[in-house]
C-alpha cells in the first residue's frame, strides 16, 4: 500500500466566471519510504496539492488516501485529528512557537496528539540529538540560526511518527550550503524511518535528494 | 491551555498593557463600590440595625421619619392587626452636640427607642445614652456628658454601639422619655405627648411575611403607611438615587473593562494569526486555542484583581477618614467575579476570528 495515493484530484476555487482551477485531475502515488520532490513555478498548484495531501484542504473531486486513511470525505474535525496523528508538516521559515524551547516545540506536536510522559520527552530529546541539536534543546527560536530552526521544525514533524511528512519549501529561507545540509538531513531522517515524504521546492539544485521528481504546471502533473 | 500558560509566564511583558489597564479599573471599581457602600451604610445604619422588619409611618409624613407622628391609639390599632407579634415606638431628633473640651459641635441623631435591636441593647435610664462609636473620633469618651441642641439638654454616654448612624449623623440611643425631653426642649414645634412616637417598629409573627403584615396594616389601620425595612431604607432621602447612580457608574466601568479586554485580545489574535494557522495545521483545534485565550483572560483578570485589591487596601489607609469609604468583602467578591466574567466575555469576542483562521494558511509562505 502506498503512503499517499491521490486519484484524479481537482480543486476549484470560486464559480462561474471567477472559477480558478488550482489542481486539474492530478494523480500521484508515493511509496511507503519514497521521497518525492514536487517542483513547479509559482501558482502552478504545488501548495494546493500539498495542502490536500495533508488534509488542510478538501478536494473538489477525486480521491485522496494517506496510508489506510481515506480522507476525501473527512469533515473538518476528522481532518484535524488526522493531521494531528498521521502527517508531519515542515513549513517555510520553520514557523516555530516563539516562546517555547526547541524541545518544547517538539512536545507541542506530541501534546496535541495526546502523547505525554517520560517516553515522549525522551523521544523529543533523541530526535533533537539526531538532528544535531543536543546542545540547543533549551534554546528558544530567537537564539537559533535559520538552519537550526528548520531542523527543529523537522523534529516536530517527525515527533508523532507520521506515515507521511510534507515539506513546504524547507530550504527557501536558507543559503545553498545550509539548504543542502537540511535536504541531506531530511533524506536521512525519512529514509532512516521508512517514512514517505513530499518536498515542495522551486530550487532545482535540491531535487536530486529525492527519489523522484514530479513537475506540476497549471494544476496538472506533467512528469 | 499549556501553551497559553507558558506564553503568559514567559512573556509577561506582552500582557502588561491589558493587566495594567485592568488593575486600574479594579482599583476604580473597588473605590466606587467602597464609596457606594460607605454612603449607603452611613445613611441607613439606624434602620438596618432594627430587628423589626416592618416600619410604620403616618400617611401625611410621606414615609419620612422626621415628619411622621403616631398617636398611642393608632399604635393599639396596629398591634391588633393579624400577624403582628410586637410593636415598639421609635423616634429621632437631629441636633448638634457639644462635646466636653471641644469648641465645635458634632452632628448627632438622638433616637428614642423602647426595646433592644440587633446592635443596641435595651434602653438605659433617663438621661443616659449609648453612643455610636464614630463619636469616639470626635473626642467623646464613656462618662462624658453631651449638651444637645440650643437648649443644651444634658445626656451622659454610658456605652458604645456600632454602625448606627442616620444620614451620616452619629447615633445617640436614649429611652423614649429622654428623647421626648430633648425634642421638647430644642424643638418647641415638635412637643410630643406621652406615648406618641414618630414611627412604629413592627415584628411579624414567625412564618408571616413582612409584605403581608405591611399590607394588612395599610388596609386595616387608617392614616398609616407600613413599609418593609428594605422599602423604608430605600425611602430614606437620597439613598435610592445614590445607589442607582453608583450602580450605573460601576456598570459602565465594567463595560469599559470588557472593551479593554476585547480590544487587547482582538489585537493579540490578529498578531497570532500566523502562529494559530501553524498550530491548526499540526492538529490544534479552534476550541483548544480559544480555551487558551480564555485562560489568559481569566488569569490576567484574576491577577489584576489581586494587585488592584492590594493597592486599594493601601490607598484606603491614606484616604482621609471623612471620606465615607467602606471596603466590604461582599462587594469585593462581586467585583472579583464581575471582572473575571467581563474579561472572559471580552476575550470571547476573538473566538470567532480564531475559528475562521484557515489551517491551510500555514502553507504556501507567510
ipTM: 0.90
B131, B100 contact by CB (below 8 A): no
Mean pLDDT per 10-residue section of chain A, whose length is 223 residues: 90 86 91 91 89 93 92 91 92 88 95 91 93 93 92 92 91 84 88 91 86 91 78
CA distance, residue A89 to nearest chain B CA (Å): 7
Q: Parallel, antiparallel, or unpaired: how do β-strands B128-132 and B170-175 relate?
A: antiparallel
**What are the residues whose beta carbons fall under 8 Å from the beta carbon of A25, sequence distance 6 or more?**
A8, A9, A10, A62, A220
Rg (chain B; Cα; Å):
29
- Given a cut of 70, whether residue B79 has pLDDT beyond it is yes
DSSP three-state, residue A38: strand
Which whole number is the average pLDDT over B42-59?
92
The answer to whether the CB atoms of B283 and A104 lie below 8 A apart is no
**What are the residues whose beta carbons fall under 8 Å from the beta carbon of A105, sequence distance 6 or more?**
A96, A97, A141, A152, A153, A155, A156
More confident residue, A180 or B114: B114
The answer to whether the CB atoms of B279 and A97 lie below 8 A apart is yes
Which whole number is the average pLDDT over B280-290?
92
Give the nearest chain A residue to B273 (CA atoms).
A95
- DSSP structure string for A125-149: HHHHHHTT-GGGTT--GGGS-HHHH
Which of these, B120, B124, B150, B117, lies nearest to B133 by C-alpha position?
A: B120
Give the nearest chain B residue to A168 (CA atoms).
B363
Q: Parallel, antiparallel, or unpaired: how do β-strands B105-113 and B84-98 relate?
A: antiparallel
Can you tell me the distance from the alpha carbon of B114 to that of B135, in angstroms, rounded to the nearest whole number? 23
Chain B residues touching chain A at CB-CB below 8 Å: 2-3, 6-7, 10-11, 274-275, 278-285, 288, 359-360, 362-366
- pLDDT for residue B366: 41
**What confidence tens digit (pLDDT) does each residue in B329-340 have?**
999 999 999 999
Can you tell me the distance from the alpha carbon of B73 to that of A50, in angstroms, rounded to the nearest whole number? 96
What is the average pLDDT score of chain B?
A: 92
Distance of alpha carbon B168 from the chain centroid: 13
Biggest alpha carbon distance in chain B? 96
What is the pLDDT confidence band of residue B365, given thresholds at 50, 70 and 90? low
- pLDDT for residue A73: 87
**What confidence tens digit (pLDDT) does each residue in B134-181 have?**
999 888 999 999 999 999 999 999 999 999 999 889 999 999 999 999
More confident residue, B189 or B151: B151
**What confidence tens digit (pLDDT) does each residue in B1-46 have?**
789 999 999 999 989 999 999 999 999 999 999 999 999 998 999 9
Angle at A6 between CA A5 and CA A11, to 5 degrees: 160
Give the nearest chain A residue to B9 (CA atoms).
A99
Q: What are phi and psi of B216, to 5 degrees?
A: -65, -40
**What confidence tens digit (pLDDT) does each residue in B219-258 have?**
999 999 999 999 999 988 888 899 999 999 999 999 999 9
- The owner of cell 529525492 is A210
* DSSP for residue A76: H
The answer to whether the CB atoms of B283 and A99 lie below 8 A apart is no
- pLDDT for residue A147: 87
CA distance, residue A16 to nearest chain B CA (Å): 24
Lookup: cell for B220: 386595616
- Given a cut of 80, whether residue B364 has pLDDT beyond it is no
Amino acid at each position: 500500500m502506498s503512503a499517499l495515493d491521490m486519484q484524479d484530484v481537482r480543486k476549484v476555487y470560486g464559480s462561474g466566471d471567477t472559477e480558478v482551477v488550482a489542481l486539474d485531475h492530478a494523480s500521484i502515488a508515493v511509496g511507503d519510504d519514497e521521497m518525492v520532490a514536487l517542483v513547479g513555478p509559482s501558482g502552478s498548484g504545488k501548495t494546493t496539492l500539498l495542502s490536500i495531501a495533508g488534509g488542510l484542504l478538501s478536494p473538489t473531486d477525486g480521491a485522496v488516501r494517506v496510508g489506510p486513511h481515506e480522507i476525501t470525505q473527512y469533515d473538518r474535525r476528522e481532518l484535524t485529528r488526522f493531521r494531528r496523528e498521521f502527517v508531519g508538516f515542515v513549513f517555510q521559515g520553520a514557523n516555530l512557537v516563539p516562546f517555547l524551547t526547541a524541545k518544547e516545540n517538539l512536545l507541542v506536536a506530541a501534546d496535541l496528539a495526546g502523547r505525554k510522559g517520560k517516553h515522549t520527552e525522551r523521544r523529543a530529546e533523541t530526535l533533537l540529538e539526531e538532528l544535531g541539536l543536543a546542545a540547543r534543546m533549551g534554546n528558544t527560536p530567537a537564539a537559533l540560526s535559520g538552519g537550526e530552526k528548520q531542523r527543529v521544525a523537522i523534529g516536530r514533524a517527525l515527533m508523532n511518527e507520521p506515515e507521511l511528512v510534507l515539506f513546504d519549501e524547507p530550504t527557501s529561507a536558507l543559503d545553498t550550503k545550509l539548504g543542502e545540509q537540511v535536504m541531506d538531513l531530511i533524506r536521512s531522517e525519512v529514509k532512516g524511518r521508512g517514512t514517505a515524504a513530499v518536498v515542495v521546492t522551486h530550487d532545482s539544485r535540491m531535487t536530486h535528494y529525492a527519489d523522484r521528481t514530479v513537475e506540476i504546471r497549471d494544476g496538472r502533473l506533467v512528469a | 491551555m499549556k501553551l497559553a500558560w507558558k506564553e503568559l509566564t514567559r512573556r509577561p511583558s506582552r500582557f502588561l498593557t491589558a493587566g495594567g489597564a485592568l488593575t486600574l479599573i479594579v482599583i476604580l471599581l473597588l473605590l466606587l463600590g467602597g464609596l457606594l457602600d460607605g454612603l449607603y451604610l452611613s445613611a441607613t445604619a439606624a434602620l438596618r440595625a432594627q430587628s423589626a422588619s416592618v416600619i410604620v409611618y403616618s400617611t401625611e409624613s410621606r414615609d419620612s421619619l422626621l415628619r411622621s407622628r403616631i398617636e398611642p391609639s393608632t399604635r393599639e390599632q396596629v398591634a391588633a392587626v393579624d400577624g403582628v407579634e410586637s410593636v415598639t415606638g421609635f423616634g429621632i431628633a437631629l441636633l448638634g452636640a457639644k462635646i466636653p473640651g471641644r469648641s465645635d459641635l458634632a452632628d448627632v441623631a438622638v433616637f428614642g427607642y423602647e426595646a433592644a435591636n440587633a446592635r443596641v441593647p435595651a434602653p438605659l435610664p433617663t438621661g443616659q445614652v449609648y453612643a455610636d462609636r464614630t463619636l469616639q473620633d470626635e473626642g467623646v469618651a464613656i462618662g462624658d456628658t453631651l449638651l444637645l441642641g440650643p437648649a443644651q439638654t444634658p445626656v451622659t454616654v454610658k456605652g458604645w454601639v456600632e454602625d448606627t448612624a442616620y444620614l451620616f449623623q452619629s447615633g445617640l440611643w436614649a429611652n423614649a422619655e429622654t428623647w421626648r425631653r430633648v425634642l421638647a426642649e430644642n424643638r418647641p414645634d415638635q412637643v410630643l405627648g406621652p406615648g406618641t412616637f414618630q414611627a412604629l417598629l413592627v415584628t411579624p409573627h414567625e412564618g408571616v411575611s413582612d409584605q403581608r403584615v405591611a399590607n394588612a396594616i395599610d388596609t386595616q389601620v387608617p392614616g398609616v403607611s407600613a413599609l418593609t425595612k428594605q422599602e423604608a431604607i430605600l425611602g430614606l432621602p437620597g439613598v435610592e438615587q445614590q445607589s442607582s447612580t453608583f450602580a450605573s457608574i460601576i456598570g459602565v466601568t465594567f463595560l469599559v473593562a470588557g472593551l479593554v479586554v476585547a480590544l487587547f485580545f482582538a489585537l493579540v489574535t490578529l498578531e497570532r494569526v500566523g502562529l494559530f494557522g501553524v498550530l491548526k495545521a499540526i492538529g490544534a483545534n479552534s476550541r483548544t486555542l480559544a480555551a487558551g485565550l480564555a485562560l489568559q483572560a481569566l488569569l490576567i483578570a484574576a491577577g489584576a484583581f489581586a494587585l488592584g485589591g492590594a493597592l486599594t487596601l493601601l490607598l484606603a489607609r491614606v484616604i482621609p477618614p471623612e471620606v465615607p469609604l467602606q471596603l466590604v468583602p461582599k462587594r469585593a467578591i462581586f467585583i472579583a467575579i464581575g471582572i473575571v466574567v467581563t474579561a472572559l466575555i471580552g476575550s470571547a469576542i476573538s473566538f470567532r476570528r480564531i475559528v475562521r483562521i484557515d489551517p491551510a494558511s500555514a502553507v504556501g509562505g507567510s
